[in-house]
């Protein structure tokens, strides 16, 4: 009995997203000597958000490197190291600061394999928290999914839960291409059950494949990162009213798994997209455009609808901030509107 219950406890472990990313990086650092982490406060401070806790103690100065406040410089150094055969993980304290270094991400990393005619790969990971936090105001709240998702040569992933976080960071590190991993600060402390499969050191979540988190028949709700949780909450509420939502967790922004979304829309005939970023030229806009171009268009019984962040720089006051990010009630409203309920 004791042995069985021990097994059961081990097979469903509660792991926070922070711990999951930490585990993923730890396993990959152990697996391959060429992997190393650099960024501000990643070593002795254990990470600005404690995501890299314990790694410097375990791996030391050579592999966990504290940088000065020089995003453009250290991102470039990371890209150069990747070109010369190492596998760096370059942390941006938040992706807002990546704007200082965006030339290195796009022009030096993303485009190089193509420009060199296939001679020079750049196996680098850029990771850090992306999007809105709580009360950090306009300069610290921008979502970069659309900006990075725009660029050929990059892969862009956006984990929601712990399984996503661990599996995607591992896949990103093992990928020979520049991968942008858009984490979410508000999700770092949220615990999820991690299956025994997901606890394995070889567990990977494939880049480029979405996951259907909840099956449904009436409407397809597509999201990425923290809003996936809000969509599931909305689905629970609506289920009581007899509306069954199919909730899709994109997991990857680029290359986008449009096929999974299309198959779902062809089943449900309705589509709502949900994201934290601004509406114009955003992830939802891209999904809508592609749905129109593909087989699913003819199955739509209503126009596709987008739920996004408000089209303003993020305000500070709580009432304003709360109304600038998509809430569960906004998702429910959009779903009912689409279903004409």
Partner 1 sequence: MQRHDVASVTNAPIVAPRAFSPRDTQKVGGVALAVWVVGGCGCPVLHSMKKMLAAAVSRVLGGGAQKPASRVLVASCNYSNDATFEIKKCDLHRLEEGPPVTAVLTREDGLQYYRMMQTVRRMELKADQLYKQKFIRGFCHLCDGQEACYVGLKAGANPSDHAITAYRAHGLCYAYGLSVQSILAELTGRRGGCAKGKGGSMHMYGRNFYGGNGIVGAQVPLGAGVALACKYKGSNEVCLTLYGDGAANQGQIFEAYNMAALWKLPCIFICENNRYGMGTAIERASASTDYYKRVNFIPGLRVDGMDVLCVREAAKFAADYCRSGKGPIVMELQTYRYHGHSMSDPGISYRTREEIQNIRSKSDPIMLLKDKMLNNKLSSIEELKEIDVGVRKEIDDAAQFATTDPEPPLEELGHHVYNNNLPFEVRGTNQWIKFKSIS
Q: Which residues bind partner 1 (CB under 8 A)?
A: 36, 62, 65, 67-68, 70, 72-86, 103-104, 107-108, 112-121, 123, 152-153, 155, 175-177, 255, 293
Find the shortest distance in angstroms from Cβ 227 to partner 1. 26
Minimal distance, residue 115 CB to partner 1, in Å: 4
Q: Which one of 71, 183, 213, 286 is the catalytic residue?
A: 71
Between residues 67 and 249, which has the closer beta carbon with respect to partner 1? Answer: 67
Looking at the Cβ atoms of 36 and 278, the one nearer to partner 1 is 36
Helix axes 227-239, 328-338, angle to 10 degrees: 60
Between 256 and 305, name the residue whose CB sits nearer to partner 1.
256
Instruction: For residue 140, indicate whether it is catalytic.
Output: yes
CB of 295 to partner 1, least distance (A): 12
Of residues 13, 140, 150, 233, which has the active-site annotation? Answer: 140
Min. distance of Cβ 116 from partner 1 in angstroms? 4
CA proximity to 284, closest of 329, 334, 245, 337:
334
Nearer to partner 1, 179 or 238 (CB): 179
Smallest distance, Å, CB 88 to partner 1? Answer: 8
Query: Does 241 participate in catalysis according to the annotation?
Result: no
Of 59 and 192, nearer to partner 1 (C-beta) is: 59
Which active-site residues does the annotation give?
71, 140
């Amino acid at each position: 009995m004791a042995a069985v219950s021990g097994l059961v406890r081990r097979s469903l472990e509660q792991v926070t997203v922070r711990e999951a990313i930490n585990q993923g990086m730890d396993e990959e650092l152990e697996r391959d000597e060429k992997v190393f982490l650099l960024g501000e406060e990643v070593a002795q401070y254990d990470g600005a958000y404690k995501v890299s806790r314990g790694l410097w103690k375990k791996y030391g100065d050579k592999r966990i490197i504290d940088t000065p406040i020089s995003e453009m410089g250290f991102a470039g150094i990371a890209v150069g190291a990747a070109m010369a055969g190492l596998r760096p993980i370059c942390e941006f304290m938040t992706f807002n600061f990546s704007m200082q270094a965006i030339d290195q991400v796009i022009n030096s990393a993303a485009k190089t394999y193509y420009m060199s005619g296939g001679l020079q790969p750049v196996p680098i990971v850029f990771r850090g928290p992306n999007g809105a936090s709580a009360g950090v105001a306009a300069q610290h709240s921008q979502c970069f999914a659309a900006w990075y998702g725009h660029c050929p040569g990059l892969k862009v992933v956006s984990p929601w839960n712990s399984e996503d976080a661990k599996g995607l960071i591992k896949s990103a590190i093992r990928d020979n291409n520049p991968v942008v991993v858009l984490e979410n600060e508000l999700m770092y402390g949220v615990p999820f059950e991690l299956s025994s499969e997901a606890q394995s050191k070889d567990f990977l979540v494939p880049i480029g494949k979405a996951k259907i988190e909840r099956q449904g028949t009436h409407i397809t709700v597509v999201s990425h990162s923290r809003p996936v949780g809000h969509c599931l909450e909305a689905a629970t509420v609506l289920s009581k009213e007899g509306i069954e939502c199919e909730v899709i967790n994109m997991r990857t922004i680029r290359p986008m798994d449009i096929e999974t979304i299309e198959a779902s829309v062809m089943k449900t005939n309705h589509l709502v997209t949900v994201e934290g970023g601004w509406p114009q030229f955003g992830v939802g806009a891209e999904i809508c455009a592609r749905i129109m171009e593909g087989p699913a268009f003819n199955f739509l019984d209503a126009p596709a609808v987008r739920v996004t962040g408000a089209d303003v720089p993020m305000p500070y006051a709580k009432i304003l901030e709360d109304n600038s990010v998509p809430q569960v009630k906004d998702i429910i409203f959009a779903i009912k509107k689409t279903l004409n309920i």
